Amino acid sequence: MKPEDEAAFFGHDLATPITNLMGAHYLLKSALKGSNPDAQEALEILEANTRTLERMLGWYWRVRDLEGSLEAAAPWPAESLFPRLKERVEGEGLPLKAPKACSCPARLQIPPGPLETGLIGAAITLRSASGREVFWDFECVEGVLFSRFVVEGEEQLLDPGRLFRKVYWPSRNRFSAWLDPSFPYLLAAIAPFGGSLELVWEEGRWTLTAALPLPP
């Protein structure tokens, strides 16, 4: 499939029936207002799955687009990443605490927009998949900026295989902004620049580590 045809497929061909499903849900909700609990439950299922479908397709397309178009940005101060993340987390009212910053007098070449979206999305995904609070901080060591996300819990709490496969993890929280991708988006944003992503369980906690290389 040609890139322009694929863009039209996701941007129009799939977007149209999804929009129609949302419209049908709105009409049914109005018509069935105050009806029996079974009808209300069916409406909730329809709404939740329509939204999940929209997010899954939307993030699949965004990952594909990122993989084929990402180029290095002009070097920018790594320390500017921390206030930018704080502003987005708090400005969007996300169910997260802003990450703890660190001293990092170096520069990044990973494009800031995709990097911020990927990091925030990873935190949201961990919270959605675990149902637990996510502790997020940074550490700058020998030419690498590490972004770490920690979730307390048993080994069975998370499934790394599914988290690295799914482009979107359904959440009870709903965000108007597109800031909730799963791990494939973050990996697509950092891998071209030598970055990596690892999720491990040890001593009662899960730790997701994104390694962000700092060019000389």
- Taking the C-alpha atoms of residue 26 and residue 132, their distance in angstroms, rounded to an integer, is 32
pTM for this prediction = 0.87
pLDDT digits (tens, 9 = 90+) for 170-185: 988 777 789 999 999 9
pLDDT digits (tens, 9 = 90+) for 8-51: 666 666 777 777 777 776 767 777 777 778 778 877 877 888 88
- Left, alpha or beta for 204 (phi > 0: left; psi -120 to 50: alpha)? left
**135-141 β-sheet, strand order:** 135-141, 144-152, 205-213, 196-202
> With bands split at pLDDT 50, 70 and 90, how would you rate the model's confidence at 1?
low
Contact call for residues 177 and 184 (beta carbons, < 8 A): no
Residues 205-216, mean pLDDT to the nearest whole number: 96
